[in-house]
Structure 1
Amino acid sequence: MTDPRSIVCHMNIVLEDGSTADSTKASGKPARLNIGDESLSPAFEAQIAGLKSGDKHTFTLDPSDAFGESNPDAIHHLDRTKFPADMTLEEGVIVSFAGPGGSEIPGIVRAVAGDSVTVDLNHPLAGRKVTFELEVVEVL
């Protein structure tokens, strides 16, 4: 492990079809990426390790190096009674589940068939090749 340091940057996450999945510029709040604390994949760290303030860098990562592969074990088929009666359940709706230590785990409804609701707890970008467009604001 290297000595931890951080890069503060604006970042666009772009999908293979060219659409933007997320952007820090929209919120005006740059992201802080920590190098050396194992929060980023080795491939991601290798791309940003030498960047300096003012640098712009674009790179593409395969799913395993970005948000991970889609895990079939994170897809659950739940009974409709597990949800509030007044909740609209349809494909694409994001629902929240209680996680360990009071955390919230978001899930995406993938299908509704009768009383069965299929919920995907994978990261929304899991299994996808993505391009990162970075603009370094500061190196800490």
Structure 2
Amino acid sequence: MIENSVPVSEGTRVFLNFSVSLDDGSEVDSNFGGEAVDFAVGDGSLLPGFERLLFGMTAGQRQLFTVPPEDAFGQPNENNVQRIDREHFDPDAELSLGLVFSFADASGGEVPGVVVGFDDDEVTVDFNHPLAGRTILFDVLVHRVEPLELH
């Protein structure tokens, strides 16, 4: 098939298996052993820093990338750690360090926050991505690359 020689680039749909691990080897996510996932380049399915790594790869290629925090989930931002009055939490909620709550954001969507401290008056919540500041190992096996249909 001719399509097998199409490289990943703007205007293509990519079918792949992947895994995301931390630099200590612990796996965060993987679909190896399952069906390939597909996405159109530029559709927002992948972070831009991950997507750029795939450019030029063709069907059948597998590569392991080391992605620095700046190209992955960014560095933690101290402004994303907020102190919230305890009264804003359900009085029956049993707080513990590492507990994840879902909070409404300004646009009405939801954003997760991790409890990183609390006392009787305040709860300290970290809204940074849990992988912020981490180097990511991104293992990719490209199965197929197709030109996107122009409509």
TM range (shorter): 0.7 to 0.9
Whether the aligned pair in 2 keeps the contact of 1:35 and 1:49 (CA below 8 Å) is: no
What amino acid does structure 1 have at the position aligned with 2:105?
A: G
- 2:93 corresponding residue in structure 1: 87
- 2:11 corresponding residue in structure 1: 4
The alpha-carbon distance between structure 1 residues 19 and 116, as it changes in their structure 2 partners (threshold 3 A), is same
Whether the aligned pair in 2 keeps the contact of 1:11 and 1:24 (CA below 8 Å) is: yes
2: CA distance, partners of 1:13 / 1:136: 15
SS across alignment from 1:81: helix
Q: TM-score, normalised by structure 2?
A: 0.77
- Is 2:56 the partner of 1:50? yes
1: CA distance, partners of 2:65 / 2:39: 15
1:84-119 Cα deviation digits (max 9, x unpaired): 122221111110011244321111111223322111
The alpha-carbon distance between structure 1 residues 90 and 126, as it changes in their structure 2 partners (threshold 3 A), is same
- Is 2:88 the partner of 1:78? no
What amino acid does structure 1 have at the position aligned with 2:22?
A: L
Query: Gaps (5+ residues) in structure 1?
Result: none
| Percent of aligned pairs with the same amino acid | 37
1: CA distance, partners of 2:109 / 2:11: 26
Query: Gaps (5+ residues) in structure 2?
Result: 1-8, 147-151
Q: CA RMSD in A?
A: 2.3
- 1:69 corresponding residue in structure 2: 75
SS across alignment from 1:102: coil
| Matched residues, number | 137
Q: 1:138 aligns with which of 140, 144, 150?
A: 144
Q: TM-score, normalised by structure 1?
A: 0.82
Bigger radius of gyration: 2
